[in-house]
Amino acid sequence: MKTLSFNTVFDLIKVIAGGYPLMTILFFVVIAIYGMQRRAKSSLLLFLFVLGYIVIIAATHRFGGISNYSERMLLPIPFMIAMAAAGIVSLSRVFVPKLMAFVGLLLVLLLHLDVLRIAAKPYTLRVEQIKSLTNMSRKLGIQKAIVNESLMEQNSFAMTGWSYPIETLLISAMKGPDSCVSVMLKHEHMDRIAKQGNVVRAHEWVKWTEIILPLKGLNNNYFKLPEESYLSLNEPGSSSIDTVNLQIHSSTKINSHHYTVAFKLTFPKNKGLFCSDSTYLGLQIPEGPQIRLTIPYTLVSGGILWMEIPADAITDDQQMDVFLRQGEKVLANEKIRFSHGQFILEERSRH
């Protein structure tokens, strides 16, 4: 309460207006219609209820953007506005205004469906990355794994965090209890547990943050993890791979600032590509930056890697070079083209 001020409330209003412009527009439209109908009391009540709720949030929380947590705090606001808008529709005795109000509300809902579609893209990519990670862990015969989140976070949609062990377990369990993999993060989980002086034993697993639980507490009808120690997917090693087949698996525009391209790597069966500072997937944009993606975890027989590309760094019908390097050795070198919002493999390099 001591830090509550006009600036705090005003900053929160700017965050809400920037994050939810349609809701803000609808709020002022409803206020204006109430004014035109000479229903000043209803207009004032809506304004005070919304403002009062914003003041309560500002007095108890601080955030500079819309997140999963702050979004839930804001849910009552659209409900207040929707109730007020419904009041306009129900009390109107003239068919045309009532129809216009109904169509307006319907358009807002339809526009929000597109907003949901756009907002879902990073989370869809995140699930795909988790599936790829757990599949690779199973190929290595590791069901209790450790990854370095700083390597995973080379992509903004990775969104690793305290819940990663339980999320990887749930997603991998969709293929059956014997396919379960639980992935612990090096810094968020492993290092924090070590600082507390605790140890994760073979008959235990990490649920989230520092919560260590016995494996016998899992329902074996759905989840099966072996009694063994956690093993790292980031251990360095030597690779005997000479060439890698590189293809574009998919590409999408995740927001107005970035495209994401999924590159599929294929190499001889049971051959591994290990993590190191000198092993990376690179993209050279003519007269632009070179983007590098360090291999985030050990790959066996191949895998899928996602690379984010700034939208302002590329132009339509532009050709780029994509390559996979291991030290001085070039394992793959291909040319791709950006055309009409899609990345296309233009021609195969001959090794």
The structure tokens listed for 213 are: 């639980």
CA distance 210 to 196: 9
Percent of the chain exceeding pLDDT 70 equals 89
* Cβ 299 vs Cβ 325: under 8 Å: no
For residue 126, pLDDT over 90 is answered with yes
Range name among 16-25, 257-266, 325-334 with the lowest pLDDT average: 16-25
Burial 194-226 (b: 16+ CB within 10 A, else e): eeeeeebeeebbbbbeeebeebeebeeeebbbe
The structure tokens listed for 166 are: 């339980």
In tens, the pLDDT along 209-226 reads: 889 999 999 999 999 999
For residue 351, pLDDT over 60 is answered with no
pLDDT of residue 266: 94
For residue 93, pLDDT over 70 is answered with no
The structure tokens listed for 217 are: 């507490």
Average pLDDT over residues 41-52: 91
Sign of the torsion formed by the C-alpha atoms of 299, 302, 308 and 314: positive
pLDDT grade for 87, boundaries at 50, 70 and 90: confident
pLDDT grade for 66, boundaries at 50, 70 and 90: low
For residue 146, pLDDT over 70 is answered with yes
**DSSP letter for each residue of 217-255:** GS-TTT----SS--EES-----------EEEEEEEEE-S
For residue 349, pLDDT over 50 is answered with no
pLDDT of residue 238: 64
In tens, the pLDDT along 250-297 reads: 999 988 889 999 999 999 888 888 888 889 999 999 988 999 999 999
pLDDT of residue 67: 66
Write down the residue that tokens 């120690």 correspond to: 229
CA distance 274 to 148: 13
pLDDT grade for 75, boundaries at 50, 70 and 90: confident
Burial 26-62 (b: 16+ CB within 10 A, else e): bbebbbebbeeeebeebbeebbebbeeebeebbeeee
pLDDT of residue 19: 82
For residue 348, pLDDT over 70 is answered with no
For residue 76, pLDDT over 50 is answered with yes
Burial 2-14 (b: 16+ CB within 10 A, else e): eeeeeeebeebee
pLDDT of residue 202: 95
The structure tokens listed for 338 are: 């950006």
For residue 96, pLDDT over 90 is answered with no
Beta bridge partners of 78: none
H/E segment holding residue 113:
helix 95-139
Long-range contacts of 115-122 (CB under 8 A, 24+ apart): 115/22, 118/255, 121/157, 121/252, 121/254, 121/255, 122/156, 122/157, 122/159, 122/254, 122/255
First to last CA, the chain: 67
For residue 2, pLDDT over 70 is answered with no
pLDDT of residue 97: 64
pLDDT of residue 69: 66
CA distance 155 to 296: 10
CA distance 248 to 38: 61
* Three-class DSSP category at 80: helix
Write down the residue that tokens 């069966």 correspond to: 269
Mean pLDDT, the chain, integer: 87
